[in-house]
Amino acid sequence: MTAQDDGVPDIGLPGDPAFEAATSTFNLAAAPDPAAATTVGSVADVQAALKYAKANRLTVRAHTTGHAAGSFGSMRDALLVRTAMSGVVEIDTAGRSARVPAGATWGDVVAATSPSGLASAHGTASSVGVIGYLLRGGVSWYGREMGLAPNTIRAIELVLADGSLVRVDAHNDTDLFWAIRGGGGGFGVVTAVEIALFPVPAVITGASFWPVTQADIVTAWRAWTVDAPRSAATCLRVVNLPAGPPVLTSGPMICLDGVILSHTDDLTEARTVSDGLLGPLRAIAEPVLDTWHDGGPADVSATHMDPPGPVRAFSDHMLLDDVNDTTIAAFLEVTGSGSQLLSAELRQLGGALAVPDRDGGALNHVTAQFIYQCVGSAIDPDSTAAGRERAALVRAALTPWDTGRTIPSFVGTHEQPQGHLDPSQIAAVDQVRQRVDPDGLFRGDITANATALR
């Protein structure tokens, strides 16, 4: 179906090429189910799409890459808008900022910023869309030094339910600027953001692998994280890799990866940090694979070794606190031998991530010690069922340390327990939604546990 004669972008119904293009997602196991779908490349396209939705009594949902598709919920009464705005990432080197059109990925941003020795608070995967990551509380490798990613947003351009294009920042509609940064969605269709950049002269980054039987590695790493400098961010995973070097596919492996930021071209300080982290671990047991190396900001996106293309997967997530050696033992017991999960990780928080930002948005800091996330294969019903059963065991084992809070960008399903805002924040955010979207055109885009009035 095409409605171009009415000034509307190509609107696809199920089975149409435009529908298939607009609903494609990174997670192939979580295909959206909207009534109609379209891809927009300009503000005029967005405005026309909203007009079409209203005329056909549809709500409006928005996405870019679909990395968070598992958490979307049903779209059966909605027009799904895929943002692929024209234009490129624009860098202001002197002002240390970038304007990023909706539809750009973090790979696009890194490619634009790295030649200038600048970096953004990007995520671990280059293929992730910038907008969803930022607004849903992205956690960067630089986060322990720079804070939560939404705090780096300087301005947001979006089309509201009435079709108007607005730019919100610290001086224009400050309530909306506060609410949209981590408030749970449902405000409009974002068309571009302006983000802060910061200098990254050099980094030390990479990954080390040990057999899962080397449990002392995990215990020692956990102890190191207690007083780790803010310049270091690490992630401990138990991985079952289906393909890769033979040494990594012989059974569950412990993987420690991360980034150590250097504040100057001289890596002496950063090397002291890396030696303090990796030296004791290598003394416990020699890694079977060790890729830590000196590098620059362009190297950071490859650190976590996220898959570059679409996958069929599911995930689960919690925020953990008061983690101790008992926690580590429980974690290894359920994620080691016999686990059907592809990956189960503990990602280091703390540092600037835990510090409230007075100029930040609704979600501007996280006080937990670690992010827990697991990923399992959803390639077929049997592997999905086995993986979900194991994920439930891990959740049960880690429940004593579960804070009950979550970060939306890590939530894997619409049904999983969620909570990133407190009741007063929810009420304040919802008041802003009532003002900018009184008829609830975008109500389906609201993150679970982020609304009180509807």
Q: What is the pTM of this model?
A: 0.94
| pLDDT value of position 452 | 62
User: Which ranges in 104-173 belong to alpha helices (H)?
Assistant: 106-113, 130-135, 143-146
pLDDT in tens, 126-147: 999 999 999 999 999 999 999 9
Give how far Cα 243 sits from Cα of 237, 250, 251, 340, Å: 16, 10, 11, 15
Where is 269: in which H helix or E strand?
Answer: helix 268-284
Identity (one letter) of the amino acid at 349? L
Confidence class for position 32, pLDDT limits 50, 70, 90: very high
Comparing CA positions, the residue from 192, 165, 161 lying closest to residue 79 is: 161
What's the pLDDT band for 251 if we cut at 50, 70, 90? Answer: confident
How far from 413 is each of 72, 313, 344, CA to CA, in Å? 7, 11, 16
The answer to whether the beta carbons of residues 425 and 396 sit under 8 Å apart is no
pLDDT at 178 over 90: yes
pLDDT band at 8 (very low <50, low <70, confident <90, very high): low
Q: Point out the least confidently predicted range of 4-13, 36-45, 346-355, 386-395.
A: 4-13
Question: Residues 15-30: pLDDT tens digits?
Answer: 999 999 999 999 998 8
Domain 7-83 -> CATH class? alpha beta
Render pLDDT for 201-238 as a digit per residue (tens, 0 to 9): 999 999 999 999 999 999 999 999 999 999 999 999 99
Per-residue b or e along 194-208, where b marks 16 or more CB atoms closer than 10 Å to that residue's CB = bbbbbebebbbbbbb
Q: Each residue of 243-255: b (16+ CB within 10 Å) or e? A: eeeeebeeebbbb
Quote the pLDDT of residue 243: 63
CATH number of the domain located at residue range(s) 202-410 in this protein: 3.40.462.20
Domain with CATH 3.40.462.20 in the chain: 202-410
**Could you tell me which of 61, 151, 147, 67 has the C-alpha nearest to residue 106?**
67
The H-or-E segment that residue 404 falls in is none
Q: What backbone torsions phi and psi does residue 153 show, to the nearest 5 degrees?
A: -75, 125
pLDDT recorded at residue 3: 42
What average pLDDT score do residues 142-167 get? 98
Query: For residue 338, what pLDDT is reported?
Result: 87
- Residue extent(s) of CATH 3.30.43.10 domains in the chain: 7-83
| Summary mean pLDDT of the chain | 94
Second-level CATH architecture of 90-199: 2-Layer Sandwich (3.30)
- Residue range(s) of every CATH 3.30.465.10 domain in the chain: 90-199
